[in-house]
């Protein structure tokens, strides 16, 4: 892919223990996460840089966000959810 929008604009990693997952990723990556509750979900957002390259994402705990057997979900620039094994994967 050359030029244009990033392939992935947003990703979510489902977790069952948000505090534990946040502490793990903060230690491994050496960054701080931003906590947020939205649409009945508890989240910890990965740090982003305005105007920077790459995508944003979050650790997510809540209804329908089960880590076992569920891969992280991604959203394309068209806002169409993409999951591993779907068309184009």
CB atoms inside a 10 Å sphere around CB 29: 11
* Residue 56 token pair: 């944003």
CA-to-CA distance for 66 and 56, rounded, in angstroms? Answer: 20
pLDDT of residue 72: 60
The segment with the largest mean pLDDT, out of 47-51, 65-69, 83-87, is 47-51
The yes-or-no verdict on residue 71 having pLDDT over 90 is: no
Which comes out higher in pLDDT, residue 39 or 80?
A: 39
Report the C-alpha gap between 56 and 10 in whole angstroms. Answer: 5
Mean pLDDT of the chain: 79
């Amino acid at each position: 892919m050359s030029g244009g929008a990033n392939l992935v604009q947003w990703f979510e990693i489902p977790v069952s223990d948000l505090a534990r997952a946040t502490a793990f990723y903060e230690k491994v990556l050496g960054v701080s996460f931003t906590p947020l509750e939205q649409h009945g979900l508890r989240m910890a957002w990965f740090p982003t840089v305005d105007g920077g390259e790459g995508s944003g994402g979050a650790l997510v705990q809540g209804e329908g966000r089960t880590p076992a057997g569920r891969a992280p979900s991604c959203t394309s620039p068209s806002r169409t959810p993409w999951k591993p094994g779907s068309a184009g994967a």
